[in-house]
Chain A
């Protein structure tokens, strides 16, 4: 009898416990996939990725669509389409290039026909830039203005600027909200299918940060995978010696494979400095008058015209400038130690060797990478 009571008691306990379970509704969890940047040997390990916009596969995918979608102008008429990719051509190092099909000699104008203040800078390896974006570095992580700190902000500026896309953010959001496929992509990337312009900035910035070039002929030479010619090697020596062309102090080399310091220099182009968007405009330091960013030389043969105002169309003109036409001023950077001779005084064969070396910085892997290319179809076209 006692055993029976015990048995019944255990059964009742089990029944009570099992009846406490309730049916749970399935929870939809927004999950993203981290996008991992593979950092080659000798490249920096510190990346400029803001905490509020970590890189994800979903964000990069969306950003690529938006980068190339001409409806980022907020318009749908074929004559009124404009996107980042309209000007930033992959084949030209994500610059216009002097052979741009629309912009003669690479001088870009916006949708309203207004020419931009400066020529473009290439969108390449920007994830490693901590020293400010733009020719004068006005977009920088330590800017007091939180709206001018990173690539995300540059996206907004480009979309709104009268001399660029001249868009309206409300119109753009509304347009994309009604494009099939896009709300879903926004949900996948950011957990909400309500499209905000902030998330558009974030997505494009994520894509731009993936534009990484590390596989030029020179990179492969450093890895022991290929040889350089005698001319290219002599050009490399000229590039990295003070008694040669002395490019390396500003433009890097094997110890700084970015081929830029992302810093700002007065390199002796002028003696009068009245351009309002030089480095002085940011720092207020009179010694920064006429100073501009030293851009990367990676793929530089494709990304003319050169200097902040595009005054040089070809690499030959640039090399000639540094050889014979550097001008002295109070603001000339002290690294231009050859200024009083007019420049580094390269001979014609040396100029050819230097150019040959610079051309080894061309990275066809980057220039043709399908992951960076314009999508064949946009989200609203995929289902059709």
Chain B
């Protein structure tokens, strides 16, 4: 069990975050320019100015509010010390172990076992776990999972991961919301009022549904699976007890059915793939094989 150089990881994540913001910023402007060339080259300035304002707002908003978008998209609620004393204590302990301020704590009501961290830096971090995780894991296992998340917080993985999920994934989040509302009949359409707006909504929804898989692929390319191994070993270094996380992953593997309904854009943030731990093909997955992670933890 050796300590990896956190400073290098922090620097890498900060540079990658700035790079991402620049790329997204410039592609909006480029897109606006291309569209203007097709539409009316005389209006290029107008289009680019609009795009400039829009992408400035979008970048600013993403940087400061992406954690809230992520939390809202998974329907998490804040945990209280009274209700979740146990969890709050564990988070406080590991924040001390990692030398970071205590993150805010959120819970998702679900029987699935999962957790993720988000936020733009350790001062504005959030750790979120499912209620199932708290119920089924024992203390050292919960410590293992929280330590994993705490190392994502400490090395700024949370900044880059959250920015990718929101900036690249915005289309995916909207497409997934749209799909969910179609599946569960959330969108109610008046029979009498089948005007343009309804039709337009369908077209936009379809367009997003077509684009979404491309953006999911982009997210997977951006967020490397290596960071999960890194957080596993840094987390094990924090608790000095790799078996805690290893046995937590065993339980997660046994228990999870893929019933956690979250957007594909935020899936890479979770400690294990929310969709299915067993079925996902290794090559297509954002997460490393859970058995391999357990093996690595046990050989530390």
Question: A and B: partners?
Answer: no
